[in-house]
């Protein structure tokens, strides 16, 4: 029977973030499977980024057969942070057997942080035979969110490699300026990973160069 120190569990919920960080570090260092439930539960509500990062590290130190089922259960949580952190941790564990859990619903999650975590996890876990299907799913999110969200999606698409180019074609021809600009910015990153990323500027420059009749929009 595994015994765990209740004092450490209490420290994970302390009011001071430094105390929580130290507790997560200790949990990961000791790597006792009995910590899994508390670490997963805390990940769902922890407000501090650095503590969340340490919680993820601690979970990756535990046996996958203990942590993975708990994390998969979190993907059905009504709490967005629980879903997001579980996806992030699954991507760090890197168990390809968890790929079927990265569903279209998660890839299209209404919460941007959940969707971003799902995109990152997907490109880590996807089997080679499903890469084209994943690219086709990801491009449905072109034009979504602010610059940070769009950059996350573009990076996920770029991580899939040159094979993503066919999936970008509908976006490049879209009548939606936001989708089209995002597709162009992604195409640029695909060809030059060091290129600057700014879909709005990309599209504005193109319209100025070609004239408004090529913008795909309507005049008023």
Kindly list the domain boundaries of the chain, sorted by start residue: 1-106, 126-220
In this prediction, residues 174-188 reach a mean pLDDT of: 95
What's the CATH class of domain 1-106?
mainly alpha
Please check the confidence at residue 220 and state whether its pLDDT lies above 90. Answer: no
Complete DSSP assignment for 7-24: HHHHHHT-SSHHHHHHHH
Please check the confidence at residue 117 and state whether its pLDDT lies above 60. Answer: yes
Q: Given this model, what pLDDT does residue 118 score?
A: 98
DSSP state of 214: G
In this prediction, residues 189-200 reach a mean pLDDT of: 74
Backbone angles phi, psi at 44, to 5 degrees: -70, -20
Q: Given this model, what pLDDT does residue 32 score?
A: 93
Q: What's the predicted TM-score (pTM) here?
A: 0.86
Please check the confidence at residue 194 and state whether its pLDDT lies above 90. Answer: no
Please check the confidence at residue 199 and state whether its pLDDT lies above 70. Answer: no
Cα separation, 105 vs 176, whole angstroms: 23
DSSP state of 195: S
Q: Given phi > 0 = left and psi -120 to 50 = alpha, else beta, which region is 31?
A: left
CB 109 within 8 A of CB 115: yes
**Mean pLDDT of the chain, nearest integer:** 89
Higher pLDDT, 194 or 165: 165
CB 102 within 8 A of CB 118: yes
Mark 81-119 as b/e (b = at least 16 C-beta within 10 Å).
bbbbbbbbbbbebeeeebbebbeeebbebeebbbbbbbb
């Amino acid at each position: 029977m595994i015994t765990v120190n209740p004092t450490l569990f209490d420290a994970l919920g302390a009011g001071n973030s430094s105390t929580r960080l130290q507790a997560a570090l200790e949990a990961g260092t000791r790597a006792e499977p009995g910590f899994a439930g508390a670490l997963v539960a805390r990940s769902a509500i922890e407000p501090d980024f650095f503590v969340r990062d340490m919680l993820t590290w601690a979970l990756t130190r535990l046996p996958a057969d203990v942590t993975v089922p708990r994390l998969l259960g979190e993907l059905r949580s009504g709490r967005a942070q629980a879903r997001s952190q579980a996806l992030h941790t699954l991507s760090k564990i890197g168990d390809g057997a968890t790929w079927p859990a990265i569903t279209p619903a998660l890839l299209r999650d209404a919460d941007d942080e959940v969707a971003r975590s799902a995109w990152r996890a997907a490109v880590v876990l996807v089997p080679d035979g499903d890469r084209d299907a994943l690219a086709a799913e990801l491009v449905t999110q072109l034009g979504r969110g602010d610059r940070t969200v769009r950059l996350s999606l573009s990076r996920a698409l770029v991580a899939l490699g040159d094979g993503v180019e066919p999936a970008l074609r509908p976006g490049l021809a879209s009548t939606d300026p936001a989708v089209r600009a995002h597709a162009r910015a992604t195409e640029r990153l695909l060809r030059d990973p060091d290129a600057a990323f700014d879909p709005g500027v990309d599209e504005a420059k193109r319209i100025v160069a070609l004239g408004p009749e090529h913008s795909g929009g309507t005049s008023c």
